[in-house]
Amino acid sequence: TIMVGGAVAALSEVWGELQRAAGATERLVELLTAEDTVKDPATPKTLAQPVKGTLQFENVQFHYPSRPSISALDGINLDIKAGETIALVGPSGAGKSTIIQMVQRFYDPQSGAVKIDGMDLRDLMRGDFRKHIALVPQDPVIFADTARENIRFGRPTATDAEVEEAAKAAAAYDFLMALPDGFESYVGERGVMLSGGQKQRIAIARAILRDAPILLLDEATSALDAESEYAVQRAVEELARSRTTLIVAHRLATVKKADRIIVLEDGKIVAQGTHDALVAQGGLYARLARLQFTEGVAAE
Ligand code: ATP
C-alpha cells in the first residue's frame, strides 16, 4: 500500500504539473522518472515576488542514497548573483550534473542548504520554485507533434507570433521555415528527424517562452554540425543575457563568455574565476581547456 500511495502521490504531482501547464517537457519526464526522495513542507513559505533568481549553496554535503560512500558534493559553497552566468566544468563524475539536480531539489543535501533568493528549497513547495526555473537538457524530448506545438509547450498560452519570435531568438526559425510544412511540419517520432543541435534550439525556444529568471543548461557533449554549433551558441547567449544561468559547459566558446567558471573535482570546487584568470593559474582548468573542450566554430 505504501508503494501504491507513492505512485498515486507521484501521479497527482504530475497531474498538478500538467494542469498548471507551466512545465516544459523535460520537467514532466524528470517527474516521471525521478525517485521520490523529497517531500513538500507541511507549512510552506513562499518566495517574495518578483523572484530575483539568486542561488546559494551553503556548505552542501551530498551523497546519492544508493552510494553513501561517495560524496557527490563535498562542502560546496556558492553564491550566485541574479543575472550571473556560471559555467560548471570538471572531469566526468566531478559533480556538475548533481549541482543542476540539487537546484531543482530532486535530492536534499545530507547537510548544508540550497537556497533560491535566500530561501531554503526545503521550506518551499517544489511547484512554487520550479516554475521559476527553465531547463535545457542535453538531449531534449521532442513530441510527435508539429514544430509549433513543440515550442509552444514552453508556455501553452503563447500565441503563434510569440512562438515564432521565440524560434527566431533561439536560431530555430530559419531551419523550421525550410521544412516542407514550415512550423506545421511534424517532428519527433514519425515526423521530421531533427539533429541534436536542432533539438537543443527547440528546447531553447521553449525556455525563452517559459521566461523564467533561472536557466539550467546542459550543453551537448557530442559535436554539432558547424551551423548548429554557431546558432546554438548565439541562442544560448541571448537566453542567458537577462537570467541567472548555470551551464554544464563542454564548449570553449561557452566558458570564455561565462561571468565565472566553477571548476569541480571529486565534488569540491577546486578553482573559480574567468577563463583568462584560470588559464593563467595553470592546473586542472588549463589542462581541461587544452584537452577537453570542443573548439567549435564559434570559439575563435
Ligand atoms: P559527467 O561529466 O560524466 O556528467 P558530472 O560532473 O556531471 O559528470 P555527476 O553526474 O554529478 O558528475 O556525478 C557525481 C558523482 O555522483 C559521481 O561519483 C557519480 O558516479 C555519482 N552519481 C551521479 N548520479 C548518480 C545517481 N543517480 N546515483 C548514484 N550515484 C550517482
- Ligand 1 atom closest to 88 (CA): 6
* C-beta of 190 in contact with ligand 1 (< 6 A): no
- The whole-number pLDDT of residue 252 equals 86
Instruction: Say how many C-beta atoms besides its own lie within 10 A of residue 66's C-beta.
Output: 7
> Is-contact 169 243, C-beta < 8 A?
no
What's 145's DSSP letter? Answer: E
At 87, the amino acid letter reads A
Grid coordinates belonging to 51: 523572484
- Ligand 1 atom closest to 267 (CA): 14
Average pLDDT over residues 115-139: 94
Residue 2 pLDDT level (bands cut at 50, 70, 90): very low
Instruction: Please report the DSSP string for 78-127 in residue order.
Output: EEE-TT-EEEEE-STTSSHHHHHHHHTTSS--SEEEEEETTEEGGGB-HH
Pocket mutation for ligand 1, best pick of 67, 246, 269 (most atoms within 8 Å of C-beta): 67
Average pLDDT over residues 243-268: 93
* C-beta of 66 in contact with ligand 1 (< 6 A): yes
How far is CA 212 from each of CA 26, 177, 243, rounded to the nearest angstrom?
Answer: 15, 27, 8
* C-beta of 67 in contact with ligand 1 (< 6 A): yes
- What is the rounded distance in angstroms from the CA atom of residue 270 to the CA atom of residue 144? 43
- The whole-number pLDDT of residue 295 equals 63
- What is the rounded distance in angstroms from the CA atom of residue 214 to the CA atom of residue 100? 11
How far is CA 249 from each of CA 60, 99, 108, rounded to the nearest angstrom?
Answer: 21, 13, 24
Residue 7 pLDDT level (bands cut at 50, 70, 90): very low
Which of 23-32, 33-42, 92-101, 192-201 shows the lowest mean pLDDT across its residues? 23-32
- Phi-psi category of 266—alpha, beta or left, where left has phi over 0 and alpha has psi -120 to 50? left
- The whole-number pLDDT of residue 21 equals 45
Grid coordinates belonging to 218: 546542459
> Is-contact 44 123, C-beta < 8 A?
yes
Centroid of ligand 1 to alpha carbon of 28 (angstroms): 21
Centroid of ligand 1 to alpha carbon of 222 (angstroms): 18
Centroid of ligand 1 to alpha carbon of 72 (angstroms): 7
Omega before 68 within 30 of 0, i.e. cis: no
- Ligand 1 atom closest to 248 (CA): 7
Tens of pLDDT along 160-215?
A: 999 999 999 888 999 999 999 999 999 987 778 888 888 989 999 999 999 999 99
- The whole-number pLDDT of residue 296 equals 53
Higher pLDDT, 216 or 32: 216
- What is the rounded distance in angstroms from the CA atom of residue 90 to the CA atom of residue 189? 34
Alpha helices per DSSP H over 85-195: 96-103, 126-130, 147-152, 160-169, 173-177
Write the residue with the smallest CA distance to atom 10 of ligand 1. Answer: 97
Q: Is the confidence metric ipTM above 0.95 for this complex? A: yes
Grid coordinates belonging to 50: 518578483
- The whole-number pLDDT of residue 31 equals 53
Tens of pLDDT along 79-93?
A: 999 999 999 999 999
Question: Taking the model in full, what pTM does it have?
Answer: 0.84
How far is CA 137 from each of CA 29, 186, 220, rounded to the nearest angstrom?
Answer: 11, 21, 8
Strand-pairing partners, residue 216, are 135, 246
* C-beta of 90 in contact with ligand 1 (< 6 A): yes
What's 70's DSSP letter? Answer: S
- What is the rounded distance in angstroms from the CA atom of residue 146 to the CA atom of residue 172? 14
Three-class DSSP category at 4: helix
pLDDT exceeds cutoff 70 at 300:
no
How do strand 119-120 and strand 111-116 relate by DSSP bridges?
Answer: antiparallel
| Surface-to-core class of residue 272, CB atoms within 10 Å of its CB (0-12 exposed, 13-18 middle, 19+ buried) | middle
